Amino acid sequence: MPESSSISIRDLKIALPPGSERPYAVDGISFDLAAGDIVCVVGESGSGKSMCAHALMGLLPGSVTIESGEVLFEGKNLLLSDDDGWRGIRGRGIAMVFQEPMTALNPLMRIGDQMMEMFEAHGLLSPPERRQKALDLAREVGLPDPERIVRAYPHQLSGGQRQRAMIALALALEPAVLVADEPTTALDVTTQAQILKLIRNLQSSRDMAVMFITHDFGVVADIADRVVVLRHGRVVEQGSAAEVLGHPEHPYTRALLAAVPSLEPPVRMPITGQSRAVEVIGLDKTYVTSGGWFRPDRKVQAARQVNFEILKGETLGLVGESGSGKSSVARLVTRLIEPDRGTVRLGDIDFTSLGGSALREQRRRIQMIFQDPFASLNPRRKVGAIISDGPIAGGADPATARQRARDLLAMVGLDPLAASRYPHEFSGGQRQRIGIARALALDPEIIVADEAVSALDVSVQAQVLALLEDLKARLGLSVLFITHDLRVAAQICDRIAVMQRGEIVELKPTAALFASPEHPYTRELLDAVPGLRSPSHAA
Amino acid sequence: MKHFFKLMLRNPGGLIGLVILTIAILVALFGPLVFPTSPWRMVQRPFLPPFTLSTVPLGTDALGRDVFAGIIYGARVSLLVGLVSTLVALAVGVPLGAIAGYFGGRIDDALMRFTEFFQTIPSFALAIVLVAILQPSIYSIVGSIAIVSWPPVARLVRGEVLSLRTREYVQAAIVTGQTHRWIIWREILPNALSPVIVLASLMVATAILLESSLSFLGLGDPNLISWGYMVGAGRTVVRQAWWITVFPGFAILLSVLGLNLVGEGLNDALNPRLAGNGR
């Protein structure tokens, strides 16, 4: 064991309950965390990276068992600790930052109280000293107006502020090791960039060891000193960030890096002379939440004078951060919600004026692919029925529709026999393919893809994107592609519209947008994309 | 489905409940065939204590009628009333709740105020009034129990539908042009079923209790013997002849307990995340 390492994992094996898809969640992992180092543990979903982090904190779920291995911290094997032993180490020796700050913070407790609770739990300091410490911590993690914010409740903070508060909690007892489990995944890119910088700064000023778990190679490139690549619970490659990212040795690492979409938009032929598939004119939508008797109503403008058109065979990207209204626009265009004002025209039909059965009939022309592959398929219907329900509702002959469903499954790269199985038997990527087949079953002219690849691992994401591109070209579809990921947008879109607070602030051909962003918000978004220095960018 | 039964059987309470319930159902179905003697017939001298004669193992009541036969025949009435009134309550509550939850807005408001109207009246009092007005008969009893027990179903289904209708697969069904009726029927209701099944099993138990209470007050169907009627008839002589009330009371207790255990077992099996140390 090298002298400098503050925690080291030796041959850790964590067994999954019998009947799982593989015997070990973590299968013989060894690596060291050295003080002053940020080690990124990278892997796709199911690679065992979170299991690893939870083992370090003694937070493994009851259904798994540690079969062998040790976690050495200050000369002791943590895995042998009892509950008391763990309590002494958690927070004080090793602290953790979770993925979703909203659920990791107690919603009924003020931020400051939660920080003071850290000291109280370990019986440290007097109450006034704790209060002072809480203020210092809030200041250190860059929370604005610390005096006020320590008295705020979690829901009163923005996502980024909540994650800062979470980090403050983790740092309260000056731990030697910080474990961060996807701490920026739930955040917007610009916020993510700030949080990454914060973790970097705190780590160097406190000389901590940081174990940073992520699936995003952009983030790795920005923050890692060392990288550990996991696959199926095994380490496939580890080394310094420059080595692993610059000269990956293992084919899996190379494949992962190659799958990260580049920010460099490919050259695309401008689409001209085509007719308009969709035209959106002056869409307005305001959500009003009733405030009750004594408070004013809460109003959120989700769409403000949104105008755009998509030509036949064109892909229009709609990018923006969460809350910018891009998903609302998707739902307005497909008429899942009704606009306050404005018109959506499909070809020469005014889609917004239709109702009842006329609307149902025209709906087939504009179809949607949803974000969450797990929530977008009815768990109690067979895949074949899910795909053929729409055409049958539209009056198609059931036998023909079912045959068509099998053909479509083949078209999206699945076994036609999948039609007689239930959605839970498929992986995320496969489910997303089923979702695409469902959309195609109605022979639509326009497809609205709402964050259709955001929930997928990079390698799967690349495959689904390739499939979408191919289908679009073959069937002459127009696509409204909604995403928060500028890398994906760069690869797939002909033109990109940038949305901020319900407004489209810039709409340009993709290459022009990346080459010369005009609006300050667009520039901010582009600068915040993680991994601008990454080798994949140069490739 | 196999998995579901395994979960159900893993829960010892649910297993015991299932056994009790199966016995009760078997008795209700085949008991009268095995013991063809009418429960109204006087077979022995009145107030014969239990365990004295093998022909009337549980003794006789104030008129010399066989208590054991009463329990066998009473099982039919109790279970039938419990089951049918629950089915009627579901038939009213599920569609109402589904429509309220799915369409929301004014329709939801109107339907929920209507539901609250029934919920504000104490259910037992309403049941008594209804049976008294309609004349006691098996139909009026089933009807009035159903009328007082549908509101919780409607509220439960409404809540489930409210959360399910925002799911992406429901939105996908809307986008693919399916009708409201089909969306509710195929996409939403099947996924809202598990809590309804659990509630229904507990409702059967409550209905059995309600029927017993009504019969106890003399509001049972005069042509059918039921456990509640037997308890009510024997209550005046409970100090001299405890067996007349205790045995039917025990039958009520067992079947209600069995149903509750099954309900809990179902709940654990259908909501594995609530089953404590699940996944």
Query: How many Cβ pairs within 8 Å bridge chains A and B?
Result: 72
Q: What is the pLDDT of residue A532?
A: 67
pLDDT tens track for A215-239 = 888 888 888 999 999 988 889 999 8
Contacts 24+ apart (CB under 8 A), A73-78: A73/A6, A73/A7, A73/A176, A73/A177, A74/A6, A74/A176
Mean of pLDDT over chain A: 87
Q: In this complex, do A368 and B279 lie within 8 Å of one another by their Cβ atoms?
A: no
Looking at residue B66, what DSSP letter applies?
Answer: B
CB-based contact (8 Å) between B1 and chain A?
Answer: no
The Cα of A428 is separated from the nearest Cα of chain B by a number of Å equal to 15
Q: What is the pLDDT of residue A536?
A: 43
> What stretches of A376-436 adopt beta strand conformation (E)?
none
Q: What is the pLDDT of residue B2?
A: 62
Q: Which of residues B42 and B172 earns the better pLDDT score?
A: B172
Q: Is the pLDDT of residue A275 over 50?
A: yes
Q: In this complex, do A393 and B191 lie within 8 Å of one another by their Cβ atoms?
A: no
**From the candidates B160, B165, B169, B171, which should be mutated to test the interface with A, based on the most A CB atoms within 10 A?**
B169
Those of residues 28-87 in B touching chain A at CB distance below 8 A are none
Q: In this complex, do A393 and B167 lie within 8 Å of one another by their Cβ atoms?
A: no
DSSP of B151-194: HHHHHHHHHHHHHHTTSHHHHHHHHTT--HHHIIIIIIHHHHHH
Which residue on chain A is closest to B174 by alpha carbon? Answer: A336
Element (H, E) at A275: none
**For the ranges A193-197, A276-280, B156-160, the one whose mean pLDDT is highest:** B156-160
In angstroms, the first-to-last Cα distance of chain B is: 18
The Cα of B109 is separated from the nearest Cα of chain A by a number of Å equal to 15
pLDDT tens track for B109-149 = 999 999 999 999 998 999 999 999 999 999 999 999 999 99
Q: Judge whether A533 and A258 are in contact, CB under 8 Å.
A: no
Q: Judge whether A143 and A114 are in contact, CB under 8 Å.
A: no
pLDDT tens track for A11-25 = 888 888 877 778 888
**Bridge partner residues of A350 (DSSP):** A345
CB-based contact (8 Å) between B194 and chain A?
Answer: no
Q: Is the pLDDT of residue B155 over 90?
A: yes
Categorize the per-residue pLDDT at B277 as very low, low, confident or very high, splitting at 50, 70 and 90: very low
Q: What is the pLDDT of residue A405?
A: 93
CB-based contact (8 Å) between B168 and chain A?
Answer: yes
Which of B197, B233, B78 has its CA nearest to residue B145?
Answer: B78
Which residue on chain B is closest to A447 by alpha carbon? Answer: B175
Q: Judge whether A471 and A477 are in contact, CB under 8 Å.
A: yes
| Chain B positions in Cβ-Cβ contact with residue A360 (cut-off 8 Å) | 177-179
Q: Is the pLDDT of residue B46 over 80?
A: yes
Tell me the C-alpha distance between A297 and A280, whole Å.
28
- Residue B5's Cβ-count burial label (10 Å; 0-12, 13-18, 19+) is exposed
Strand, helix or coil for residue B240: coil
| Chain B positions in Cβ-Cβ contact with residue A442 (cut-off 8 Å) | 176-177
Strand, helix or coil for residue A72: strand
**From the candidates B175, B178, B191, B279, which should be mutated to test the interface with A, based on the most A CB atoms within 10 A?**
B175
Categorize the per-residue pLDDT at A388 as very low, low, confident or very high, splitting at 50, 70 and 90: very high
Q: Is the pLDDT of residue B88 over 90?
A: yes
Q: Which of residues A535 and B15 earns the better pLDDT score?
A: B15
> What stretches of A103-208 adopt beta strand conformation (E)?
177-181
Q: Is the pLDDT of residue B250 over 90?
A: yes
Tell me the C-alpha distance between B105 and A289, whole Å.
14
Q: Judge whether B11 and B265 are in contact, CB under 8 Å.
A: yes
- Residue A493's Cβ-count burial label (10 Å; 0-12, 13-18, 19+) is buried
Nearest CB partner across the interface for B179, out of A360, A367, A378: A360
Q: What is the pLDDT of residue A4?
A: 58
Tell me the C-alpha distance between B227 and A453, whole Å.
62
Nearest CB partner across the interface for B176, out of A331, A381, A393: A393
Q: What is the pLDDT of residue A149?
A: 87
Q: What is the pLDDT of residue A61?
A: 82
Q: What value of ipTM does the predicted structure carry?
A: 0.79
Q: What is the pLDDT of residue A394?
A: 86
Tell me the C-alpha distance between A195 and A142, whole Å.
10
For residue A291, CA distances in Å to A39, A286, A297 come to 47, 15, 4
Q: What is the pLDDT of residue A3?
A: 46
Dihedral-angle region of residue B64 (phi above 0 means left; psi in -120 to 50 means alpha; beta otherwise):
left
Tell me the C-alpha distance between A56 and A117, whole Å.
22
pLDDT tens track for A359-382 = 988 998 999 999 888 889 998 889
Question: Considering only A99-103, A437-441, A497-501, B162-166, which range has the smallest mean pLDDT?
Answer: A99-103
Mean pLDDT along residues A426-439:
90
Tell me the C-alpha distance between A178 and A170, whole Å.
7
Q: Judge whether A18 and A43 are in contact, CB under 8 Å.
A: no
Q: In this complex, do A367 and B190 lie within 8 Å of one another by their Cβ atoms?
A: no
pLDDT tens track for B6-20 = 766 677 888 899 899
| Chain B positions in Cβ-Cβ contact with residue A435 (cut-off 8 Å) | 172
The Cα of A320 is separated from the nearest Cα of chain B by a number of Å equal to 21
For residue B30, CA distances in Å to A4, A117, A146, A527, B250 come to 80, 65, 76, 79, 20
Categorize the per-residue pLDDT at B63 as very low, low, confident or very high, splitting at 50, 70 and 90: confident
Which of A444, A431, A429, A487 has its CA nearest to residue A217?
Answer: A487
Q: Judge whether B112 and B198 are in contact, CB under 8 Å.
A: no
**From the candidates B176, B179, B182, B279, which should be mutated to test the interface with A, based on the most A CB atoms within 10 A?**
B176
Which of A242, A22, A198 has its CA nearest to residue A212?
Answer: A198
**From the candidates A287, A378, A380, A450, which should be mutated to test the interface with B, based on the most B CB atoms within 10 A?**
A378
Categorize the per-residue pLDDT at A1 as very low, low, confident or very high, splitting at 50, 70 and 90: very low
Q: What is the pLDDT of residue B171?
A: 92
> Are β-strands A38-42 and A226-231 bridged in parallel, bridged antiparallel, or unpaired?
parallel
| Chain B positions in Cβ-Cβ contact with residue A333 (cut-off 8 Å) | none
Categorize the per-residue pLDDT at A5 as very low, low, confident or very high, splitting at 50, 70 and 90: low
Sign of CA dihedral A268, A273, A274, A280: positive
**For the ranges A273-287, A321-335, B124-138, the one whose mean pLDDT is highest:** B124-138
Q: What is the pLDDT of residue A499?
A: 92
Categorize the per-residue pLDDT at B45 as very low, low, confident or very high, splitting at 50, 70 and 90: confident
Q: What percent of chain A has pLDDT over 70?
A: 97
Which of A57, A106, A342 has its CA nearest to residue A213?
Answer: A57
Instruction: Tell me how far the alpha carbon of residue A99 is from its chain's centroid.
Output: 10
The Cα of A530 is separated from the nearest Cα of chain B by a number of Å equal to 29
Q: What is the pLDDT of residue A67?
A: 85
Q: Is the pLDDT of residue B212 over 90?
A: no
Instruction: Tell me how far the alpha carbon of residue A208 is from its chain's centroid.
Output: 27
Contacting B with CB below 8 Å, chain A residues are: 61-63, 331, 334, 336, 360-361, 363-364, 366-368, 370-372, 375-381, 386, 389-390, 393-394, 435, 438, 441-442
Strand, helix or coil for residue A468: helix
Q: In the structure encoding, which two tokens stand for residue B29, read together?
A: 């179905």
Q: Judge whether A394 and A364 are in contact, CB under 8 Å.
A: yes
Residue with tokens 């994992």: A9
Tell me the C-alpha distance between B235 and B46, whole Å.
15
pLDDT tens track for A155-186 = 888 888 888 899 999 888 889 899 998 888 87
| Chain A positions in Cβ-Cβ contact with residue B187 (cut-off 8 Å) | 378, 381
Q: In this complex, do B277 and A378 lie within 8 Å of one another by their Cβ atoms?
A: no
| Chain A positions in Cβ-Cβ contact with residue B177 (cut-off 8 Å) | 360-361, 363-364, 390, 393-394, 442
CB-based contact (8 Å) between B180 and chain A?
Answer: no
Q: Judge whether B141 and B220 are in contact, CB under 8 Å.
A: yes
Q: In this complex, do A389 and B176 lie within 8 Å of one another by their Cβ atoms?
A: yes
| Chain A positions in Cβ-Cβ contact with residue B167 (cut-off 8 Å) | 375
> What stretches of A250-377 adopt beta strand conformation (E)?
276-289, 298-311, 315-319, 341-346, 349-350, 366-369
Q: Is the pLDDT of residue A534 over 50?
A: no
Q: In the structure encoding, which two tokens stand for residue A13, read together?
A: 């094996």
Which residue on chain B is closest to A449 by alpha carbon? Answer: B172
| Chain A positions in Cβ-Cβ contact with residue B171 (cut-off 8 Å) | 331, 336, 368, 370
Tell me the C-alpha distance between A282 and B25, whole Å.
66
Tell me the C-alpha distance between A27 and A39, whole Å.
19
| Chain B positions in Cβ-Cβ contact with residue A367 (cut-off 8 Å) | 175-176
- Residue A299's Cβ-count burial label (10 Å; 0-12, 13-18, 19+) is exposed
Tell me the C-alpha distance between B132 and B214, whole Å.
10
Q: What is the pLDDT of residue B58?
A: 87
For residue A188, CA distances in Å to A21, A222, A447, B80, B218 come to 33, 16, 25, 59, 69
Q: Is the pLDDT of residue A475 over 70?
A: yes
Confidence (pTM): 0.81
Q: In this complex, do A366 and B176 lie within 8 Å of one another by their Cβ atoms?
A: no
Q: Judge whether B241 and B47 are in contact, CB under 8 Å.
A: yes
Mean pLDDT along residues B258-279:
69
Element (H, E) at A447: strand A446-450
